[in-house]
Structure 1
Amino acid sequence: MKSLLLGSAALALTASISLADTVRLGTEGAYPPYNFINDAGEVDGFERELGDELCKRAELTCEWVTNDWDSIIPNLLSGNYDTIIAGMSITDEREEVVDFTQGYTPPSPSAYAAMSADVDLEGGIVAAQTATIQANHVVSTGATIVEYPTPDETVAAVNAGEADAVLADKDFLEPIVSSTDLMFVGEDVLLGNGIGMAFRESDDELRGKFDAAIATMKEDGTLNTLIEKWEVGGTW
């Protein structure tokens, strides 16, 4: 699960949105099965279904906005949308500048994938998406990291021989490994504290509405149904 490097706290807004207005849900649109753009050009995936249901339960009118991952928190703080729902891990680093709902998925493992089983994960070259908890972990292992703007580019780097392995959410890698020559190597790595929605610190009321809606989906089992449908993480 992804974790953006921070340093943009100065961009935070102090004004809260009016809950009578349309709530803009910010996502990446490039991280299946959590979020992606379908053939009709619309946001799709686990978080599209989840976000629509949360808006319905919170009695809010919502619209979807896409944004590149590496600027997704700065653009929340700048007011380009009102919340992030984009496979974003809850981390202590992020909580310095944004507030999270409770997790809507439990923590799930990250995994390495490579073209052969004998790659050197600590002394080799490992690809990861820029500004993620996976990228931070690679640095901590001593491996040489190569970072790319999108998750697809990290996989392409391994296929092209530019990296020995890729580290990413196992949920993201599983369909790729099952349909290509890539294979899982090494041990799974547990990172982050689950995935939640992120809000500006000034938007406590809006965050509370979504937090309450997540709680009702946990209580009635519909959240687990969505998790199982899209095969993301573990159930509650």
Structure 2
Amino acid sequence: MKKLILTLGALALAATTATAQDVIRMGTEGAYPPFNFINDANELEGFEIDLGNELCARANLNCEWIVNDWDTIIPNLVAGNYDTIIAGMSITDARREVISFTQEYKMPDPSLYAALEGTDPSVIENGVIAAQSNTIQAGHVAETGADLLEFPTPDETISAVRSGEADAVLADGDFLRTIVGEAADLEFIGDPVFVGGGVGMGLRQSDTELRETFDALISEMKADGSLNEMLIKWFGEETPTF
């Protein structure tokens, strides 16, 4: 049975080469449903948890899951505190300068604006827009005429809209669809925004062999249809598949 490690603060500093131990420490955020989240039983759940466990099973590796705040998820990978990032991370050129990525395991999804019902869509251009810090959405808002209000977690961006601190939020459509679909007070406004590439697994640039291992397994799952089954399970029948 795979070991689950939930670490919300400081991470263990000792780090050795994962492949030498046949142990892979999988870093995730645990706060971004349906990609990854902590359920009512205080266990990690989501699309990427299913995917990561399956990849490790196929590679005969022991997965250890480590939960880390989004703002420090790349620095802690580079520092050796875990071996992969599997956390809804879009593949971008800027991130490639620091880490490497596998091929995408989820196709790009448009980002969407959500606001309280009745909000004038003009706030997209001249209002206060909430976004999670260090995301492609925050980068997009910063390039518009709107005022960017950044928060460490995605839940805080929603709270900012509800409290009136922000006029709207910009986030991944896959995240917002569930939130808006279950809320009586929120609605989508404006047009979809296409930023970033597909979602892939992040690794240290030096871990070429490990990246190639996961790349091959992702290709295998695309070919046998199992990746598509996971995508549909977590994102619905309308989600793009491979």
TM-score by length of 1: 0.91
* Paired residues of 2:30 and 2:67 also in contact (CA < 8 A): yes
DSSP 3-state at the match of 2:143:
helix
CA distance in 2, matches of 1:65, 1:87: 15
CA distance in 2, matches of 1:92, 1:143: 24
Could you tell me which residue of structure 1 aligns to residue 142 of structure 2? 139
Task: Please point out which of 160, 168, 179 is paired with 1:176.
Answer: 179
* Paired residues of 1:148 and 1:154 also in contact (CA < 8 A): yes
Per-residue deviation, residues 82-120 of structure 1 (Å, max 9, x unmatched): 000000000000001111000000101100001124132
| Counterpart AA for 2:91 | I
Match status 1:162 vs 2:165? yes
* Consecutive unaligned residues in structure 1, runs of 5 or more: 1-14
* Consecutive unaligned residues in structure 2, runs of 5 or more: 1-15
Match status 1:207 vs 2:208? no
CA distance in 2, matches of 1:47, 1:176: 19
Per-residue deviation, residues 48-95 of structure 1 (Å, max 9, x unmatched): 000000111122111100000000000001111000000000000000
**More relative contact order in 1 or in 2 (CA 8 Å, sep 6+)?**
1
Could you tell me which residue of structure 2 aligns to residue 229 of structure 1? 233
CA shift at 1:230, angstroms? 0.3
Could you tell me which residue of structure 1 aligns to residue 113 of structure 2? 112
Match status 1:153 vs 2:156? yes
Trace 1:54-133 onto structure 2 (pairs within 5 A).
Answer: 54-115=55-116, 116-119=118-121, 120-133=123-136
CA distance in 2, matches of 1:132, 1:66: 18
CA shift at 1:21, angstroms? 3.3
* Paired residues of 1:16 and 1:202 also in contact (CA < 8 A): no
- Sequence identity percentage: 60
Which one is further off, 198-207 or 226-235? 226-235
* Paired residues of 1:16 and 1:203 also in contact (CA < 8 A): no
CA distance in 2, matches of 1:142, 1:188: 17
* Paired residues of 2:131 and 2:170 also in contact (CA < 8 A): yes
* Paired residues of 1:28 and 1:36 also in contact (CA < 8 A): yes
* Paired residues of 1:17 and 1:203 also in contact (CA < 8 A): no
CA shift at 1:17, angstroms? 3.6
| Counterpart AA for 1:20 | Q
CA shift at 1:41, angstroms? 1.4
CA distance in 2, matches of 1:107, 1:18: 30
Structure 1 stretches of at least 4 aligned residues deviating more than 6 Å after TM superposition: none
| Counterpart AA for 1:234 | P
Could you tell me which residue of structure 2 aligns to residue 12 of structure 1? none
Could you tell me which residue of structure 1 aligns to residue 49 of structure 2? 48
* Paired residues of 1:24 and 1:65 also in contact (CA < 8 A): yes
| Counterpart AA for 2:136 | I
Trace 1:191-206 onto structure 2 (pairs within 5 A).
Answer: 191-206=195-210
DSSP 3-state at the match of 2:227:
helix
TM-score by length of 2: 0.89
Which one is further off, 16-25 or 26-35? 16-25
Could you tell me which residue of structure 2 aligns to residue 186 of structure 1? 190
DSSP 3-state at the match of 1:212:
helix
Count, aligned residues: 222
